[in-house]
């Protein structure tokens, strides 16, 4: 609990300090959407953010009926990916929306959720309930990604959500949760925020999954900490399978 209190203090200080930067961007994005795409400016949906479901706000970057066309119930699971990742070149995005998505500005309205204490600056992204159910069908411990507050950005965003499979994503998310809950490091959260910005504007390239894992461990207060295994309900031979990092195979 004390670790989470430190995280909450970090969230408030950084969000208020950065208000001089994000408030103008918030207003400009809202105005551009209103002028070129019309209302509504925001998209509001119910998402799992922890042990509860909340109404989460973000900029509307897609056509009005996008959530009915593309959701976990209408799109079949393929390529071992149960997270719902819509590529930025999809026709579902509006012209303005593609630009906002390109520079990862979509979630800026969620800074108000951060100030309210419903979310954190850094954590695992909130998910629609049907995505959570789909993940738990294959990964019984998938809900462990909610052991710390949902965030605007997190370790997965350092890799790119379209460049990672479910097992890898859950491993990174659960690793972050364990580090943040056992030995919270404001330095780690700050660096994840900075790297997210640098990658978005093209100053640096995205990290690999292994690089991100090492990044979390390097800047945490734990010398060694990540999930020992992520079991699935199924595998090629029908038995339970344990996911390990490539480096573990040599130990």
CB 224 within 8 A of CB 247: no
Q: pLDDT at position 229, please?
A: 52
* pTM reported for the whole predicted model: 0.85
Q: 124-134 burial, b for 16+ CB within 10 Å, e for fewer?
A: bbbbbeebbeb
CA–CA gap between residue 219 and residue 186 (Å, rounded):
9
The model's pLDDT over 179-204, given as tens digits with 9 standing for 90+, comes to 998 888 999 999 999 999 999 989 99
pLDDT band for 250, please (50, 70, 90 cuts).
very low
For the cut 90, the answer to whether the pLDDT of residue 246 exceeds it is no
pLDDT digits (tens, 9 = 90+) for 61-107: 999 988 888 877 777 777 677 888 887 888 899 999 999 998 999 99
What b-and-e string marks burial along 176-203, b requiring 16 or more CB atoms within 10 Å of the CB?
A: bbbbbeeebbbebbebbbebbeebeeee
Q: Which residues contact 191 (CB under 8 A, 6 or more apart)?
A: 215, 219
Distances (CA, A) of 135 to 59, 87, 127, 165, 174: 26, 20, 11, 12, 14
Greatest extent of the chain over all pairs of C-alpha atoms, in Å = 58
Q: How confident is the model at residue 233 (pLDDT cuts 50, 70, 90)?
A: low
Average pLDDT, the chain: 86
Question: What pLDDT is stored for residue 236 in this prediction?
Answer: 39
- Half-sphere exposure in the Cβ direction for 165 (13 Å, CA): 8
Distance CA 231, CA 132 (A): 16
236 vs 47, residue with greater confidence = 47
Please give the pLDDT value at position 108: 97
pLDDT digits (tens, 9 = 90+) for 112-147: 999 999 999 999 999 999 899 989 989 988 999 999
Q: CA quadruple 86, 91, 93, 95: dihedral positive or negative? A: positive
pLDDT over threshold 50, residue 237 = no
When comparing pLDDT for 174 and 72, which is higher?
A: 174
């Amino acid at each position: 609990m004390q670790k989470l209190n430190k995280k909450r203090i970090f969230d408030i200080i950084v969000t208020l300090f950065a208000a001089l930067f994000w408030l103008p961007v918030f207003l400009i994005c809202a105005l551009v959407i209103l002028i070129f795409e019309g209302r509504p400016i925001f998209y509001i949906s119910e998402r799992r953010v922890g042990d509860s479901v909340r109404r989460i706000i973000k900029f509307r970057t897609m056509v009005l009926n996008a959530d009915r066309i593309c959701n976990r119930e209408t799109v079949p699971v393929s390529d071992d990916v149960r997270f719902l990742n819509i590529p930025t070149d999809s026709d579902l995005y509006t012209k303005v929306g593609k630009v906002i998505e390109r520079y990862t500005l979509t979630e800026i309205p969620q800074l108000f959720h951060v100030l309210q204490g419903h979310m954190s600056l850094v954590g695992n992204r909130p998910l629609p309930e049907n995505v959570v159910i789909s993940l738990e069908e294959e990964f019984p411990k998938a809900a462990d990604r909610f052991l710390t507050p949902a965030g605007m950005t997190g370790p997965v965003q350092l890799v790119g959500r379209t460049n990672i499979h479910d097992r890898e994503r859950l491993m990174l998310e659960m690793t972050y949760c364990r580090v943040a809950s056992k030995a919270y490091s404001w330095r780690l959260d700050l660096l994840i925020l900075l790297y997210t910005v640098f990658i978005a504007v093209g100053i640096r390239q995205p990290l690999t999954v292994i690089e991100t894992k090492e990044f979390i461990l390097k800047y945490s207060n734990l010398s060694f900490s990540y999930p020992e295994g992520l079991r699935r309900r199924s595998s090629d031979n029908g038995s339970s399978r344990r996911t390990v990092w490539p480096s573990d195979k040599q130990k």
